[in-house]
């Protein structure tokens, strides 16, 4: 099968999702809504690091202090009401139906240069699929950089594995248990080797050939949550900041459409986390049930998702 990168195609969102589920990638030039989100994010990031330049602050701060700063900055971005509004505007401008499109709160990522901080709050991602972390097969990821990126601080896709399974440890991952144990402030205190049992490959992964898409700030990369992807080891000399969020279309979820599951064995589901584009309501209970398993109730504990 070929690997296609579509640039600013004319197709609608239904067609786009269908192609994403086949493993294709989509790139869009910056639009007013994504640029506005970038501008909002830069202000938050720059205020947090002031008077330092966020891209080079890593050279002027002890790593513990840096991680603590990110430990405050990232949640404030994630839960900022304005962040959700920016997503809603983007969904609209990029052709999604706000009544059937649900989104998870956006994440602000940072990738520091030269292995300054690659664990905890700024984890340098080994090759993984989001479906190893309880994402449903219909999840689609939107990713865009906040500042200019280069090939040596981008993200990488490994599309040959879209249809080919990779032996991995996802069987040991339960979404609810994970959130109980690791969600929250303590992640900011991890600055050396990362003790969290993140699902990862247990076989050698052929990292090359790989695709790195170097796009300007506010330019959007869309990919299936089942796509194998990783952080490029950052040797650029500057910290990369990027935004990403995940989408689920309720009609896809209901019809159980999505990317093929070639190797994910995790339990639990992220389905409770997505909020509807139009009114921030949760995915209907009957759909959640289709993706959930008995682990949601285990030990009398019921997972509490992020609220609108």
Q: Which is nearer to Fe ion, 86 or 109 (CB)?
A: 109
Q: Which of 155, 119, 160, 177 is nearest to 244 (CA)?
A: 155
Q: Which is nearer to Fe ion, 77 or 142 (CB)?
A: 142
Q: Which is nearer to Fe ion, 130 or 252 (CB)?
A: 130
Give the DSSP letter of residue 282. B
Give the DSSP letter of residue 306. P
Tell whether omega for the bond before 306 is within 30 degrees of 0, i.e. cis.
no
Mark 248-287 with x for binding to Fe ion (rule: CB under 5 A) and - for no binding: ----------------------------------------
Residues 119-138 that bind Fe ion (CB under 5 A): 130
238 — phi, psi (to 5°)?
-135, 155
Rounded least distance, CB 176 to Fe ion, Å: 19
DSSP strands (E only) in the chain: 5-7, 25-28, 101-103, 107-111, 140-145, 155-157, 211-212, 220-224, 229-231, 240-249, 275-276
Mark 191-230 with x for binding to Fe ion (rule: CB under 5 A) and - for no binding: ----------------------------------------
**Pair 253, 136: CB distance under 8 Å:** yes
| Rounded distance between C-alpha atoms, residue 71 and residue 200, angstroms | 24
| Rounded distance between C-alpha atoms, residue 241 and residue 247, angstroms | 20
Rounded least distance, CB 70 to Fe ion, Å: 18
**Pair 287, 250: CB distance under 8 Å:** yes
Q: Which is nearer to Fe ion, 20 or 69 (CB)?
A: 20
Rounded least distance, CB 203 to Fe ion, Å: 19
Q: Which is nearer to Fe ion, 49 or 127 (CB)?
A: 127
Q: Which is nearer to Fe ion, 130 or 273 (CB)?
A: 130
User: How many amino acids of this chain bind Fe ion (CB under 5 A)?
Assistant: 1
Rounded least distance, CB 141 to Fe ion, Å: 7
Please report, as ranges, the residues that interact with Fe ion according to CB under 5 A: 130
């Amino acid at each position: 099968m070929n690997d296609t990168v579509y640039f600013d195609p004319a197709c609608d969102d239904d067609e786009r999702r269908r192609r994403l589920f086949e493993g294709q990638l989509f790139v869009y030039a910056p639009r007013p809504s994504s640029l506005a989100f970038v501008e909002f994010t830069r202000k938050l990031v720059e205020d947090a690091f002031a008077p330092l330049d966020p891209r080079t602050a890593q050279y002027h701060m002890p790593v513990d202090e840096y991680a603590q700063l990110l430990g405050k900055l990232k949640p404030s971005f994630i839960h900022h009401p304005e962040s959700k509004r920016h997503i809603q505007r983007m969904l609209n401008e990029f052709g999604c139906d706000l009544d059937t499109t649900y989104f998870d709160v956006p994440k602000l990522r940072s990738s520091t240069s030269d292995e300054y901080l690659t664990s905890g709050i700024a984890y340098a991602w080994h090759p993984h699929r989001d479906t190893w972390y309880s994402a449903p097969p219909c999840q689609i990821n939107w990713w865009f950089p906040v500042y200019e990126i280069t090939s040596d601080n981008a993200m990488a896709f490994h599309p040959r594995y879209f249809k080919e399974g990779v032996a991995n440890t996802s069987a040991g991952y339960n979404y609810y248990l994970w959130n109980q144990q690791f969600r929250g402030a303590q992640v900011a205190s991890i600055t050396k080797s990362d003790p969290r049992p993140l699902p990862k490959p247990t076989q050698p992964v052929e990292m090359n050939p790989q695709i790195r898409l170097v796009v300007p700030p506010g330019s959007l990369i869309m990919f299936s949550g089942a796509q194998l992807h990783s952080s490029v080891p950052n040797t650029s000399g500057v910290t990369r900041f990027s935004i990403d969020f995940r989408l689920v279309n309720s009609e896809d979820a209901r019809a159980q459409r999505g990317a093929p599951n070639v190797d994910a064995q995790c339990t639990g589901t992220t389905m409770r986390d997505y909020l509807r584009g139009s009114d921030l309501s949760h995915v209907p209970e009957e759909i959640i049930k289709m993706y959930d398993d008995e682990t949601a109730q285990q030990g009398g504990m019921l997972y509490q998702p992020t609220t609108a």
